[in-house]
């Protein structure tokens, strides 16, 4: 059964209905960008290694490096490519409390909790979701004690109903 933030559609309150309406409005404003097969190949190569030289991409695709550069620039301008970044193994940096948190939030407090979590350095990714949880957060903590303190602090915030941690044992595919 489809659930919005833990609420079945037939049991929606006015607040959860308003939250769903907001999500529908936001999603309706999202526009797809036309990409062709060459764009997808460029994206795949950059996902594999964002430092791949333009000349290597051009050679593999059979186009000029100038054409590759223009395509990448268009993908950046249309926000298909949001940024170039690195993938870090947090355990190698001493973060032993690496976890994903499913967070159930009262709909009226959702954006307050999003703002709060967005300001925290230990939150590496944060997503508003439809399904089991209202939010999903990737958390890096130095150890299990720090992770426990983070969760206790979050549980004390108005509107947070439940936190469901999934402790990462090994990151198989970033």
Query: Which regions of the chain carry the CATH code 1.10.10?
Result: 37-77
Q: Which helix (H) or strand (E) holds 23?
A: helix 14-29
pLDDT at residue 12, rounded to an integer: 53
Q: What is the distance between the alpha carbons of residues 105 and 94, in angstroms, rounded to a whole number? A: 30
| pLDDT above 90: percentage of residues in the chain | 68
Please determine, for residue 11, whether its predicted confidence score (pLDDT) is greater than 60. no
pLDDT, tens digit (0-9, with 9 covering 90-100), for 105-132: 999 999 999 999 999 999 999 999 999 9
pLDDT, tens digit (0-9, with 9 covering 90-100), for 130-154: 999 999 999 999 999 999 999 999 9
Q: What is the distance between the alpha carbons of residues 140 and 129, in angstroms, rounded to a whole number? A: 20
SS (H, E, C) 74-107: HHHHCCCCCCCCCCCCHHHHCCCEEEEEEEEECH
- Report the DSSP beta bridge partners of residue 142: none
| pLDDT above 70: percentage of residues in the chain | 83
Query: Which regions of the chain carry the CATH code 3.30.70.920?
Result: 90-167
Show the tokens assigned to 16: 């959860």
**Going edge to edge, which strands form the sheet with 123-128?**
123-128, 135-141, 97-105, 160-167
The domain defined by 90-167 folds into: Alpha-Beta Plaits (3.30.70)
Report which of 86, 82, 98 is spatially closest to residue 137, judged by C-alpha positions: 98
Are the CB atoms for 109 and 133 separated by under 8 Å? no
Q: Look at the block and give the residue holding tokens 């909790």.
A: 113
pLDDT at residue 77, rounded to an integer: 94
Question: pTM for the full model?
Answer: 0.70
Are the CB atoms for 68 and 60 separated by under 8 Å? no
What does the mean pLDDT of the chain come to?
Answer: 87
- CATH code of the domain occupying 37-77: 1.10.10
Are the CB atoms for 144 and 96 separated by under 8 Å? yes
């Amino acid at each position: 059964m489809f659930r919005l933030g833990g609420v079945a559609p037939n049991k929606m309150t006015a607040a959860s209905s308003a939250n769903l309406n907001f999500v529908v409005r936001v999603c309706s404003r999202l526009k797809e960008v036309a990409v062709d097969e060459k764009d997808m190949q460029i994206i795949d190569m950059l996902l594999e290694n964002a430092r791949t030289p333009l000349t290597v991409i051009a050679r593999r695709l059979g186009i000029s490096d100038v054409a590759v550069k223009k395509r990448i620039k268009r993908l950046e301008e249309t926000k298909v490519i949001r940024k170039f970044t690195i993938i870090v193994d947090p355990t190698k940096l001493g973060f032993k409390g690496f976890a994903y948190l499913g967070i159930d939030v009262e709909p009226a407090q959702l954006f307050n909790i999003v703002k709060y979590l967005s300001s925290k350095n230990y939150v590496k990714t944060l997503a508003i979701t439809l399904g089991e949880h209202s939010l999903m957060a990737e958390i890096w903590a130095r150890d299990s004690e720090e992770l426990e303190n983070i969760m206790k602090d979050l549980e004390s915030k108005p509107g947070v109903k439940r936190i469901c941690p999934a402790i990462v044992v090994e990151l198989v595919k970033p």
